[in-house]
Structure formats: structure tokens, C-alpha cells
Amino acid sequence: MHVVALVLLRFHKGTILVWGDVKVPNSSWDSRFGAFRTLAIYYPEVLRFLQRSGVGFKNEVLDLPPCPELMSNTTLRRYQVEALESWFKAGRRGVIVLPTGAGKTIVAMAAISRINAPTIIVVPTIDLMEQWRTRLEEEFKVDVGAYGGGENTLKAITVSTYDSAYLRAEELGNKFALIIFDEVHHLPAPSYSQIAELFVAPFRLGLTATYVREDEGHKMLPRLVGNVVYELETEDLAGTHLSHYTLEKKLVDLGAAEQVEYEKNYEIFRNYLRRRNLRLRNARDFQRFIMRTGSDPKAREALLARNKALDIALNSASKIEALRRLLTQSPGEKALIFTQHNKLVYRISREFLIPAITHQTSKEERSEILRRFKSGAYRRIVTSKVLDEGIDVPDATLGVILSGTGSSREFIQRLGRLLRKKQGKKAQLVEIVSRQTKEMGISQRRRR
């Protein structure tokens, strides 16, 4: 008999010492370590294999921080209980898909309480990190650690941005029994997927309102986190736990000069595709076209013309007038106005005297704008993409999409900003779309 070291992480602390000749699955010999090596994600599988094999082994992988009793007293709704139980039945691994406002955070805190062991929650933004931290400290009455925004504090419950979790995977990878991925649709990104691979955490929970990625990256999630174990759509909860809502599309015509300029530029783009016999059927085809622009001046000319045409369609003067009429007709509604580009955000902010939130808005100013919106001092906010995901936006009832992408995820997220239950109030989401332009197709795609 001899001792074989199995290294599970990219550092020497995370090892299992095995007495005996046994080939552990998903491992290979690494002469740099003088040991067999595998990814941390396979830790539960390795343990099960060694236990079944009957060989002697010493587990030196987990190095958990001290953990107090983690008790949650929040009462779950019926569907939240079902979601949590489905996750447990799946071996405490998997993704829960619930619409915005349905209480995914509450389900996560119940999971933390049931596991009652060191936990890390991974989130996409600093704002969400702070939001989670506040909720967790209120619920569990403990100090919550944080990695992100210049802070690096390890606690039994820790919240990290995806960026920090990726950069510090070697330091944090064996510190937690449970890892929760908020907005888990971000995880399949090439660098972020390594978080799941390099963290040992045997228990894994993914949370999202928008599981499917248009690049099909969601097909990676069963390996990284687990399968979808529970799913509800907005329609399942509308009128009970979420607001009733309506969707409306208002079509507007470009001005005469805008229409001429739009057609002139879009025809340059169409002519190029016809001459080169190109068909742009999906994102991959479009990416190939973009690559052509680096070596083909005509391709670059066509791309610039296309972008100018879309800019005209997305930012037309007719949309501004349609917005003016809509806001005049709904003076009492708290409204969120969404655009694709900051240029239109600032134009609306100046013309209508509406506070604006973009990625350029400081954290302090954003918090103050949202606070005044919640109090009713402000009735409208105009934004580009900053409020699409994750941020708690209080009690808006009217959403206006002046422009956006063809992403159904973006559409669902913008609708989700309006759906938190409000007594006697129905939410309304209105798209304002330029007629007889490419934006018609963009609107159809995002409503899929």
C-alpha cells in the first residue's frame, strides 16, 4: 500500500490522501504537484467514489470558517416551499427559476438556514452585493463578509461579486459548503464558469428569472450548478403574489427627413449583403460579418450605415412626442422609462426634467434618486440598462421601453421592475416602436 495525494484545487491545501491503488475519476497525474489532480467541482463525486471503493483516505479539503447557528424565521409562501424542497430532493444542487419579485432571496435564505454551514453568495454587481449583505444581516443577525468594491472580508456568510470570486477562487475555493449564484445566467461566461469549477462547495443553488441564454450558454449550467429543479413564470403568479399587468405596443412613424435618412443608410447595408450574398440569420452570422469589417472597407461602411439607420429608428423625435402624450395621460403613475443608449436618457432627462440613472451615475446619487422615487418626491426615472437587473425598484406601475435590444431576457427583466405586488394597482409595460424600420423585428424578437 502507498499514499496517493489527490489535489482538488490549484493550491496544496486542498488534498485528499488515499491509501491504496485506486484510479479516481476525472483525475490525472500532475508532475508539478507530484500528485493526481482534479477540479474542485468534482469533490462530491470523488468522496462518493472513495467511500464506495472501501479504500482508506484522509480528507484535507474543506477549511471552513467558524459558523454560528444560522436561523431564518421568514415564513415561506407555498411555491417557495415547493422550490426549496425540490432543490433538496435534487441533492441540494440545481437552479430555481422564479420571476422578479417572487422572492428568490427568501428561498436562498431558507436554504442557508437548512444547510446551516458557511455560505458564499455570488452576485453580478456591487449594488447587488450591498443589497444582499443588508438582507442577510437583518435575517441572520450576523456580520456578513464581502469581496468586491475594494473590500475583502471573510465571514461564515459572505457575498462576492462574480469578478472577485473568479479572481480569488484559489483563496476562497475551500471555505464554503454552500455556494449560491444569484442571476446564475451570468455563470456560463468563460471566466465566471471557472468559479463553479474551482470552488469545492458540494451544495449549489442557482437563482434567476431568465434561465435561457441566446448563445445557449445555459446548457453548461447542469454541470456547473445542477439542473433546473423548479420553475414558475410571471403568468403563474400574476394577480396573486405579483401584480396583474398589461403589455402594449405603440407604433410611431419617423419624420419625413428621418425616414429618408433611415432608408438611405439601411439600403447601403442591404446592398452590401446582397453583393456578398450574405444572410444574417443569427448572432453567429452577424459576428462573422463584424469580423469582415476589420479587413473589408466596404463591410465597415455597411456596418456604420446600419448603425446610423438604427440610431435614427431608436431615437426618433416621434418617440419623444409619444412619450410626452403617454406621461400626460398617466399623471399619477410612477414610471420607469428605459432606453438602449445613454444619449436618449440624457435627452429625455433634460427635456422632461426627469432624474436619470446610467452607469455614469454615482452610487450615492443613484441611491438618493431611488429613495426619492420610493417616497413619491420623484414620479419618473429614465435609465438605460442599469435598472434592468437585480436592483430593487420600489412600486413603479408604468414602464416605457423607448428602445432596447432583441433580448427576451432584457424584456423580462424590464417587466419585472414593475411586478412587485401593489394594492389595487395593475402594472403596464408600453413599447414605443418606429414603424417600417428594423426596430419592428427587434420588438418581435424580445417578445418571444
What contacts 397, CB < 8 A, 6 or more positions away?
Answer: 243, 333, 334, 335, 418, 422, 425, 426, 427, 428
pLDDT digits (tens, 9 = 90+) for 156-169: 999 999 999 999 99
How confident is the model over 383-389, as a mean pLDDT? 78
3-class secondary-structure state, position 117: coil
Q: How confident is the model at residue 423 (pLDDT cuts 50, 70, 90)?
A: low
Residue extents of the structural domains in the chain: 3-60, 78-237, 245-253+316-446, 256-314
Q: Tell me whether the CATH fold assigned to 78-237 matches the one assigned to 245-253+316-446.
A: yes
How confident is the model over 327-351, as a mean pLDDT? 91
Statement: residue 403 has pLDDT above 50: yes
Q: How many CB atoms lie within 10 A of CB 277?
A: 6
Q: How many CB atoms lie within 10 A of CB 78?
A: 8
Task: Provide the pLDDT for residue 273.
Answer: 93
The CATH architecture one would assign to domain 3-60 is 3-Layer(aba) Sandwich (3.40)
Task: Write down the mean pLDDT value for the chain.
Answer: 88
What does pTM read for this prediction? 0.84
User: Which class would CATH give 245-253+316-446?
Assistant: alpha beta
How confident is the model over 320-337, as a mean pLDDT? 91
How confident is the model over 398-403, as a mean pLDDT? 90
Among the ranges given (18-22, 155-159, 206-210, 259-263), the one the predictor scored with the smallest mean pLDDT: 18-22
Among the ranges given (16-30, 162-176, 204-218), the one the predictor scored with the smallest mean pLDDT: 16-30
23 vs 216: which has the higher pLDDT: 216
Residue 176 C-alpha cell reads as 464554503
Residue 238 DSSP one-character state: B
User: Which class would CATH give 78-237?
Assistant: alpha beta
Whether 309 and 254 have beta carbons less than 8 Å apart is answered as no
Task: Provide the pLDDT for residue 11.
Answer: 41
> Of all residues in the chain, what percent carry a pLDDT higher than 90?
57
